[in-house]
Structure 1
Amino acid sequence: MPMLLVCTLGAIELPIRMRRAAAAVAVAVLIVAVIQVARFERSSPIKSISQYADLYDAIPRSDIVNVRIADQLSFEWAVYYLRDHRAVYTKGELIYYPAAQTDKSSEKSRAADAEYILTDTKQEESAIWSNEKFFLYPLKAPRLQDASATNK
């Protein structure tokens, strides 16, 4: 846009016909820019990350949660918001950082100790917490303090 302004201001000393042509080009570029922004707005399904941010406070930090999320974008946000939690990632992969081939035996034992499972798929049993993207289910009987913390 600054270059367009410089070109338009430079055209001020040109004859009237050239000034009109420069103004027409400026208007055309502006219309194309507005169309591009409108097209991007329509194509972007996510307008807010609040549905992902809810995850940060929904899960107790002291408990182990088994994360099984198929949707790649939801998985990335879950990894971000669960960075301070004790999470075991048994399903899902970061798009930009493919997982290396590692020994998964330690993760299997941690997954067996998990108190909760976080998924993006609705199950038959009722979730103890959910929003538009995630469902949290207990794997073990919740402790009294955890049950009161998740019902806030």
Structure 2
Amino acid sequence: MVAFAAAAGEFDHACRIAEALVDHLARRGHFHECRAALEHALACADMTVDRRMPASLRICLGIVDWLTGMANCNLGAIHSQRGLHERALDHYATALALASGSPVGGERHVHRLLSALVGDLGFERLELDGAGVLSE
């Protein structure tokens, strides 16, 4: 709906729809759909009458990224407890990448959980390369 409104030149409507959808989609865990709606809206946010819209949509996007990161962090913790350490590391890497780019933060929480996993695995340390891949 956001993309259709934006394509029709209804920039104010596109942004308001995206802003309204954030709560609905995020509460149901539809973070990717929420992010897509916000990205479509952000592309035309500067053309709206409402001057607060660009900042509001960026804040919403930061919150969605933080929620996505925390969901991945929780999945990592669950996989770690079940002994699925490779899958846990994948989720922690995703969470860490999202947390490091988010204005909301959350890196410290991910680092703490990742440090516990590294200790459980018997490694002294793991490094995260620029592509978000963990290595010994």
Higher helix proportion: 2
Which bin holds the TM-score, normalised by the shorter protein?
A: under 0.3
Higher relative contact order (CA 8 A, sep 6+): 1
- TM-score when normalising by structure 2: 0.25
TM-score normalised to structure 1 length = 0.23
